[in-house]
A and B are shown apart, each in its own frame.
Chain A
């Protein structure tokens, strides 16, 4: 990094600097200023001061050498080592991490340590370098094969995750990326010998194209929608003249083509392939992986059609709201392919579905959704197609039967797929699976391999599925399979770790599951191998277990040692103090109305003024029930009138009954008495009172004390 870069960098990140950083810069600036001043005599003598600069001080402080005086001899310079010591290379990967990325993660200016250096998972910025390394590596926060794909780099560079403004994020990302690259440069070489049971390596280039999973022997046309851009979706079947669909009103999405308002349409000439091959066989299948946008579109909305308008066709796969509809023009149908068939109950879901419609002249039509038959007929008949129809996806050629949704794959077969073949294609999935073979002959001493279906799921991950053992050897134990990419075993999503079986015959599927393996350098570059804990009679290593990572203790922040009574407790307390039952009709009605306005919990830090109003209302209700009953009133206050000289006595009773006698941690009795007497005076009882005036004053003073902090806070 050159000086210019440093200056730009400092400027860009200036706002991120904390006080200590600002002070540090100030100190450095002053020091630098001093240096310029100290050895700048010659400079100032030859370079005029810039315009606006203050003139040289004509009265320098005592001791300052006069201008032109050479600086004092600093003595001989220290010897310069022409070969400064180079630190030895790190002995461990942890040490390499500690020298490169870890300091940046710990730097408060990079914003990681504030959260991930303490309690927030993942705790990759903790002070303990080994602990941080374990998190960084075990949770795949860096990609040492392709640093650009490292999570710690992508978070600031792409996600802009807690890194300030864009410029700041870019700078942090660049520093992290450089540190990861430096880490790669200095880290000790990997030691693959640690995993002794390794299969041979393979790659997608060596995979069996088309995969072993699909039944494609009778393909006529197939569209995978992998183009990703452009206005043409190409027929990838490799059969006959390819059908090139012209795409309009559609948008490319990851692994598919979304129809928004248009269609993908072939020419009449290219569509003719369907007519020629299918009328020759007399049977066909329409197969699609698709995601309907909703379950209300109708018409039916055309998903796949071979037609010239809404009323004339050879076949149609359509959607009528919640049902898939199948039309086929036969000797028994009209020109539109009716009567159609469709399921009795909903078979359309707004998620990826595998839909297959088959026609066999001996048995009629069937519709399969996700491998299951949802509609079928028993009707022997023959095709009655015409050769002037147009193959279209997502609409009619006349643009008046729009289907909205995503196509991930469409295939046309000139045979009626059997139930087993439909199931096979469903299980093969929407992607372009290939079969990768991992040779394990070297481990077993006999010809043997493990086959896996594999595909690239998206630009970040591969799927490896259904490992199958192929060998004449039997009685072979297979335990704990991991998929490695470029000599590295990703820790996450290794779905075959729990495999532990003894193979008794060739072709045994070891697991029905699929593992998601992150892309390292791309499908064209990545090399894969398998590792095992046990294979045959040999034992390798199991993966290491990540260390336990209990959360950090909470900060030692002193909370109040007291709280506020919650809603139920306030009512219970007022009931206990006043002797009025909590299910008293008037009290209960008010409590029901005000309950949610009372404190929900005892946490006083959540207490608000509106809650105090609710408490006041409830206290007024309880005290109102006391004064409403003459006996209760007399029992509680001593009398239901207020004598001019009896107010202190009433205040004492309120104190004893509501606040509690002989409790040192309650408010001072005299102070409370003063307040209560003042309240009665303010309410017109200075000279004593009776009747409504007295009961109002008694109710008010009662409610005032009952709703006070002396009662509600404890």
Chain B
């Protein structure tokens, strides 16, 4: 639905078309070639001869999903493919090169264990390395534990190495179970998006990465403005038209949602996530004199002003309002847009392109339906998408 901007690569497209014409076999696929492609796309490496034979037989018998499931047993699916999917979600540059951290590991574990993926924004869940996997203990104050897992190339497909735990019971955590919200309350997320600033970045990147919608996509100047904080100038540069036509469109909804993070911060000195129950962080009240009649946060309540109006198409099915990031995560992750976004994210990883055209868009809908009907299994999305793109 939101194709990334690209330069005009017409020349390269033409070259690729020529390649297809002269190397016609690359564009043809029987069961063996389809199995090979499924494996390549899901795992990132070619299959062994044994696995290829087995997968090809499944494809030939009409069980392409079974073939995909067999491919996903390869550890590289988790160590590389899923990690590459989740790594850009951990940093503001959306770099795929960022190191493994608790946020990425949690996504990997959730896919591996088929945890309903909407919990990625609301669950009391985290994955840590076992003592067998590394002797570097998990710490609230650094990422050394996960760096050790990465540097030692620990097999994350093994539940003996990567273990599911609850955030609220980790040593040193400031969070109770009701205050956790999946990857949004991990140390890695806090270091990237709750550090400094105003915590609006937490909402912006959560929607950007997991709903495939940036603030510009939500832009709605008709949304109710009463949660826009005092630090937003109503007359930027002396022109209130700018506020009415531009700033308002994002801040009306964004500030309403970002209230969920009013008790959160990331301490640059201790390098830890900070949570101050019932005490609004100073960053929420900063620059109050910019517009004294703006909203002054008094708690961590949030409200979604994008549920009706232009953004109704998002398909909101969550609580609509609440307090803290857990309920906010439910609000975001229970949307239809969230489901479709997971398919789009996987589609780009597995099909190597942004879905476009009627067939692709229909496939996104179909696979999103399946995602919702199958306990929001992201692993199944991988399998179905790989089958859709296995060629014919």
Contact = CB atoms under 8 A, between A and B. Distances in A.
Contacts of A612: none
A42 interface: no
B235 interface: yes
Contacts, number: 236
A349 B293 CA distance: 19
Contacts of A460: 235, 239-241, 244
A561 B241 contact: no
Given A138-B222, A466-B293, A572 B245 contact: no
A604 B243 contact: no
Interface string A483-506: 000000001111111100000000
B12 A495 contact: no
Given A151-B241, A255-B238, A568-B44, A665 B29 contact: yes
Contacts of B290: 351-352
B355 to A, nearest CB: 8
Contact of A664 (B33, B40, B356, B389): B33
Contact of A516 (B16, B97, B244, B351): B244
B225 interface: yes
B353 A559 contact: yes
Contacts of A713: 26
Given A457-B240, A493-B243, A572 B80 contact: yes
Interface string A347-360: 00101111000000
B243 to A, nearest CB: 6
A35 interface: no
Contacts of B23: 667
Interface in A25-67: none
Interface string A689-714: 00000000000000000000001011
A669 B361 CA distance: 38
Interface string B29-66: 11011001100110011100100100000000000000
A551 B244 contact: no
Nearest to B238: A254
A493 B248 contact: yes
Contacts of B348: 602
Given A513-B295, A516-B244, A458 B310 contact: no
A666 B16 CA distance: 15
B96 interface: yes
Interface in B86-100: 96-97
A606 to B, nearest CB: 8
Nearest to B7: A605
B77 to A, nearest CB: 10
7 contacts: A460-B235, A547-B310, A548-B310, A563-B353, A600-B97, A605-B13, A665-B29
Given A554-B3, A602-B352, A518 B12 contact: no
A538 interface: no
A554 B1 contact: yes
A458 B239 contact: yes
A516 B240 contact: yes
Interface of B: 1-3, 6, 9, 12-13, 16, 23, 25-30, 32-33, 36-37, 40-41, 44-46, 49, 52, 76, 80-81, 83-84, 96-97, 152-153, 216-217, 219-222, 224-226, 234-235, 238-241, 243-245, 248, 287-296, 308-313, 348-349, 351-354, 356-358, 361, 389, 391
Contacts of A660: 36, 46, 52
Given A493-B244, A513-B294, A605 B225 contact: no
B245 A595 contact: no
B288 A461 contact: no
A514 B293 contact: yes
A554 B243 CA distance: 29
A520 to B, nearest CB: 13
A23 interface: no
Contacts of A663: 32-33, 36
Contact of A461 (B36, B235, B295): B235
Contacts of A427: 292
Given A457-B235, A605-B12, A546 B241 contact: no
Interface bin, chain A: 35 or more
A548 B44 contact: no
A601 B235 CA distance: 42
Given A491-B221, A561-B391, A665-B26, A605 B45 contact: no
A664 B28 contact: yes
Given A151-B241, A516-B244, A562-B26, A576 B45 contact: yes
B241 A548 contact: no
Q: Which 3 A-B pairs have the closest CB atoms?
A: A514-B293, A563-B352, A461-B240
Interface string A552-584: 011111111111011111001101110000110
A72 interface: no
Contacts of A429: 292-293
Contacts of A493: 225, 234, 243-244, 248
A121 B244 contact: no
A553 B361 contact: yes
A351 B308 contact: no
Given A514-B294, A665-B27, 19 more contacts: A151-B241, A351-B290, A352-B289, A354-B289, A460-B240, A492-B222, A511-B226, A548-B309, A556-B358, A557-B356, A560-B13, A560-B353, A568-B83, A569-B76, A576-B46, A600-B97, A660-B36, A663-B36, A667-B25
Contact of A561 (B36, B287, B313, B352): B352
Contacts of B13: 560, 605
Contacts of A400: none
Interface string A602-635: 1111010000000000000000000000000000
B248 to A, nearest CB: 6
Given A460-B239, A461-B243, A121 B1 contact: no
Contacts of B353: 559-561, 563, 603
Contacts of A182: none
A618 to B, nearest CB: 14
A19 interface: no
A554 B293 contact: no
A463 B238 contact: no
A545 B309 contact: yes
Contact of B226 (A495, A568, A573): A495
Interface string A524-545: 0000000000000000000001
B222 A491 contact: yes
A550 interface: yes
Nearest to B152: A583
Contact of A492 (B1, B16, B221): B221
B44 A551 contact: no
A465 interface: yes
Contacts of B240: 457-458, 460-461, 516, 518
A353 B30 contact: no
Contact of A546 (B30, B49, B222, B234): B222
Contacts of A569: 44-45, 76, 80-81
